[in-house]
With several copies, the nearest count.
Chain A
């Protein structure tokens, strides 16, 4: 779907969908949406809609995948068959495989992985609708799900796509912009408090000068994403406290599942650093 029109952002001073150059699409996050998961999040970002769920820390399977020094974060990024304009065939493709890998690596820095040796944390992200930027949406959702699971973290991961389209450096490209003849797409994810970069990819042609500008746009935009993440986590925890013992969760989970009880004990012993930060 190539954009053959003579769009010129420099001249128009605004983008196809009316946004300013540094303006993101609307972002909504809700945590705790999947009762079975230890932590979860649902995120809408423009047309993108994704679910994230976290299971663990739990026994690493297969056994040889365990690391005696730390927990292994296993991310599976998947898209439903109907989340893209042309039906996606079942089973992960090479793109899914690569994205799963970089998302897992991006989350690793945020988690105190040394605290749970020989275990795994399963992080599952599922795209149910998409329009450019699904990997950063998933990374943003996944880090909320990890925090929701009470997993000790040094920080959240906040991510966004920045880049170039129709002559301008822009934030949060949509599909029409990704199809621009001069499109550059740069998914970037950071630990917002330290500004450390944990996800960084680039497709397209960009000068180093442009990189200097666009990387600042990216970091600033990530920080705005961070505010939405914090807000979502806060809402959940405030709610949780209000509900306290009146927890409406799945009976089978609360009353009788041994695994969950064990897990909860583990959690209680750990400092929930992110939760603390968020509540400040």
Chain B
């Protein structure tokens, strides 16, 4: 295991935060600049690169035919994976998904799944036999913190632009042909905070994450719902801090949603 972060750098971030400041001069509640590109992978049913400050993530979606789960015979499904590619940071390693990768994938998944944005019944082809399964995987291309929000934006944009594969008369996929778009009834987005030096910081960098006492992510929808929450790291939040973060998350995600979906 490599670790390129120095304790002295962490201390610097903590003492800045105590004074309400950040290394990159952002406000505590300020998100880094976001850039979006889409469609780079022609083999994917949807693909997106999200740049969030120095964090860069690519997401792509493959939609395939699968078998329904025994207890949901008329429903398709989605599956979300995350990889911190060793390409993206000197601390990242290849191999089986580690705890961080599993957590971020599952939280991004929950924000979307639990919002009911995707109607799994609409992904049924033949009840009990054939359903659509959407595999969305996102990968760090440059890691500088907050894979949660970068992954969440990348996933949302990708699903929002996804093309549905076309079927022939025998319900087999016709390669490279498409049949309309995937429908998204909600546009959930995560907003992630860390607590550093007792202060709440929105959209942490990698170094801020390493300096964090605690981390908190909230998934919010455009129609006023929380769809996911996840507290992480060894510290704590009090009730007021959680309420503050939820409130801020709604405002922040509304702003980002407008930008990324051009609503």
Q: Is the CB of A203 within 8 A of B41?
A: no
Q: Inside 8 A of A219's CB, which chain B residues have their CB? A: 239
Q: Is the CB of A34 within 8 A of B141?
A: yes
Say yes or no for A53: interface residue by CB 8 A criterion: yes
B-contacting 9-mer, from A9-17, A87-95, A238-246, A269-277: A87-95
Q: How far is the CB of A209 from chain B (nearest CB, A)?
A: 9
Q: Is the CB of B2 within 8 A of A94?
A: no
A-contacting 9-mer, from B123-131, B240-248, B252-260: B240-248
Q: From A53, which residue of chain B is reached at the shortest CB distance?
A: B87
What 0/1 pattern do residues 199 to 220 of B give for CB contact below 8 A with A?
Answer: 0000001110000000010000
Say yes or no for A180: interface residue by CB 8 A criterion: no
Tally of contacts, chain A with chain B, CB under 8 A:
221
B-contacting 9-mer, from A18-26, A97-105, A166-174: A97-105
Complex-state Cα separation, A42 to B221, whole angstroms: 35
The residue among A36, A37, A205 with the most chain B CB atoms within 10 A of its own CB is: A36
Q: Is the CB of B41 within 8 A of A80?
A: yes
Q: Inside 8 A of A260's CB, which chain B residues have their CB? A: 4
Residue in B90, B176, B246 whose beta carbon sits within 8 Å of that of A208 in the complex? B246
Q: Is the CB of B137 within 8 A of A82?
A: yes
What 0/1 pattern do residues 52 to 87 of B give for CB contact below 8 A with A?
Answer: 001010101110100000011000000001010111
Q: How far is the CB of B50 from chain A (nearest CB, A)?
A: 13
- The secondary structure that dominates the A interface is mixed
CB within 8 Å for A201 and B81 given contacts A83-B44, A259-B90: no
Enumerate chain B interface residues (CB-CB to A < 8 A): 1-2, 4-6, 8-9, 12, 23-24, 40-45, 47, 54, 56, 58, 60-62, 64, 71-72, 81, 83, 85-90, 94, 96-97, 99, 102-103, 105-106, 110, 114-116, 135, 137, 139, 141-144, 175-176, 205-207, 216, 221, 224-239, 242-243, 246-247, 250
